[in-house]
Amino acid sequence: MVSDLASGIEASILGDIWLSNEAFENLTVLCDDFGSRFAGTEGERPAVDFIVSKLKEYGLENVVADEFAYTGWRRGEAKLEMLTPKERELETISLAMCPPTPSGGVEADIVYLGPGYPELFLERKDEIDGKIVLCTSQPRPSGEMVHRRTKYGYAVKFGAVGFVFVNHNAGQLMPTGSIRPAYRMAGEISGIGVSWETGCYLVRQLEKGPVRVRITTTDVVDPEAISWNVIGEIPGGEMEDRVIAVGAHFDGHDIAVGALDDGAGAVTVMEASRVLAKHKGEFKRTIRFICFAAEEIGVTGSTCYVDKHIEEINGIDLMINCDGAGRADSHVYRVSGPEHLVGYLQGLVDRMNYDMRVVKSSSAASDHWPFYLQGVPAVTLSAYRGFEEVARVGRGWGHTSADTLDKVNPKHLKDAAMVLAQSLVHLANEEGVIAERTPVDEIVMRLEKSGMVETLRIQRKWHPGSIR
C-alpha cells in the first residue's frame, strides 16, 4: 500500500521531471562543451566540475569530487598494413588500453575466428600462437554478448601477438572499447578495431590464401593517472546510516561524445537527484548519488570507489546502476543479486503502475559489479532491448564515432528519470529489509559453479582476494 506521503512526493517529482528539460540540457552541456569525458582527456575535469556544481545547485549535501589513481591511457596513432597477398594500408584505431608496439610494429599472419566465441578459440588454439587474431563483435544468436575483453583475453592466452576486432555492424564504423581493466593494468599485445567493411575485405583475402599484416600503435600508458568520481547525498532521517547508492558513469569513449553510453545514464541520475533533493527530510534512508569516471576502461571508477570506501560498504542496502538508462522509452531492472530481489522489485514497479520487466542478470561489465562482489544487493536500470535486437546490432552505435547527441530522445531521459526517482521514493522509505546481503564466499562459489570465473580470469578481472 502506498502511503499518502509517498503518493504526494511521487506526484510532485513526476510532474517536475515531465515539465522540465533539465536532463537533456545537462546532456547537451556534457557532450557539446566537454566532449567524450574519457578518462585523461581535456574535457574530463571540467565535466567533473560541472557535475559537482549541478549537484550543489540542486541542494545535495556532502558533494565532492572523489580522487582515485589508476593506469591511464592516451590514444596515439594506429596503423594496419596488409603486406601479403598485396600491399595496402587499412583504416584502424587502437582499442582502449592498447600498449604501444615495439619500433617497427608487430608483423604476423592473420587467423580468422569469426565471432570469436570462447569455444572457437578452444577449437583452434593450436593455430593462434604467433598469429594476429581477427574476430568480430557479433553476439551469440541468443543475444548473449561475449565481451571483447574475453575475446582479447583468449587471444593473449593462446599466444597471439596482435588482436583485430571487427564491428559486425555495417557503416564504416570502427569500434573501440577496453581490452584490460585500467584499475590494474594495460594490455599485453596490440588490440585494434576495424569496420565491418575492412574486416570483410580481410576475410575475402584469406579465402585466397595466407594474409600477413603489420600493426603499429603509438598509444601511451600512464601508470600514475588520476581521476575523480562525483558524489552527493540526500541525508536520510531515522535510518540515516543505511544508504541506497545510485550511480552511472559520465565518461564516453574518446572517439565520440558518448551521449548514449553513458551520458544519458549520468543525466538520469542527476535528474533524479534534482527532484528528490526538493524533498530532503522526507526519506528514511540516505540516498547517495555517484557519477563514476573511467567506466569505459574496465569498470575502473566504481571499482576504485569500492576499494577506497570499503569501510562504508556494509551500510549500503542497495546499489542501482543506471548504465543504459534513457536510451529508449521502455526500461528494465536487471538484478545481479540476490535472486529474491527480482520479486521485490517486480512488486515495486507493479505498485508504481509502470509496465516494466524485472529480470535476473549476470553481466560483470558495468558499475554495479564491484558492489555486488562485496555482497551488496545490486541492480541495473537500463533501456529494454529484446534478445533479437541485441543479437542483431550488439552495441549498435555504442563505442563508435556515431554515439552522438542527436541519437538521444529527450522524452526517453524523462522516462528513465521518472522510473528511477519514483522507485527511490519507495526504496528510501522501505521500513523493512530491501534485500538480504549475499556472503562474499557464497558469491565466489556461485561464480565458480556457473563457470563465470573462467571468463573473469581470462579478462584479468578475477581477484577475489582484493578489490582491485
4-73+223-437 and 76-218 agree in CATH topology = no
Confidence band, pLDDT 50/70/90 cuts, at residue 5: low
Percent of the chain with pLDDT over 90: 94
Answer yes or no: is pLDDT of 390 > 70: yes
129 exposure class (CB count in 10 Å sphere: 0-12, 13-18, 19+)? exposed
CB of 158 closer than 8 Å to CB of 279: no
- 218's CB contacts (< 8 A; 6+ apart) are 76, 77, 78, 100, 101
Relative orientation angle of helices 44-58 and 264-277, to the nearest 10 degrees: 20
315 φ, ψ to 5°? -90, -5
Q: Kindly report the CATH number that applies to the domain delimited by 4-73+223-437.
A: 3.40.630.10
Answer yes or no: is pLDDT of 35 > 70: yes
Confidence band, pLDDT 50/70/90 cuts, at residue 394: confident
Confidence band, pLDDT 50/70/90 cuts, at residue 386: confident
What is the overall mean pLDDT for the chain? 96
C-alpha cell read off for 340: 529474491
Longest Cα–Cα distance of the chain, Å, equals: 75
- The pLDDT of 135-150, averaged and rounded, is 95
pLDDT at position 387: 63
Confidence band, pLDDT 50/70/90 cuts, at residue 2: very low
Return the amino acid letter for 325: A
pLDDT in tens, 397-413: 999 999 999 999 999 99
Give me the CATH topology for the region 76-218: Glucose Oxidase; domain 1 (3.50.30)
Answer yes or no: is pLDDT of 391 > 90: no
Q: Per DSSP, what are the bridge partners of residue 214? A: 81, 107
Answer yes or no: is pLDDT of 162 > 80: yes
**Structure letter (DSSP) for residue 295:** G
pLDDT at position 1: 40
pLDDT at position 385: 77
Percent of the chain with pLDDT over 70: 98
Pick the more confident residue, 102 or 386: 102
Q: Residue 89: how many CB atoms within 10 A of its CB?
A: 10
Confidence band, pLDDT 50/70/90 cuts, at residue 31: very high
Residue 400 Cα to chain centre, angstroms: 14
pLDDT in tens, 254-299: 999 999 999 999 999 999 999 999 999 999 999 999 999 999 999 9
Q: Residue 243: how many CB atoms within 10 A of its CB?
A: 24
pLDDT at position 73: 98
pLDDT in tens, 190-224: 999 999 999 999 999 999 999 999 999 999 999 99
pLDDT at position 4: 54
Return the amino acid letter for 274: R
Among residues 246, 313, 319, the alpha carbon closest in space to that of 277 is found at: 246
What DSSP string describes 14-83?
HHHHHH--HHHHHHHHHHHHHTT--TTSTTHHHHHHHHHHHHHHHT-EEEEEEEEEEEEEE---EEEEEE
Residue 254 Cα to chain centre, angstroms: 14
pLDDT in tens, 296-353: 999 999 999 999 999 999 999 999 999 999 999 899 999 999 999 999 999 999 999 9
SS3 391: helix
- For the chain, the structural domain boundaries read 4-73+223-437, 76-218
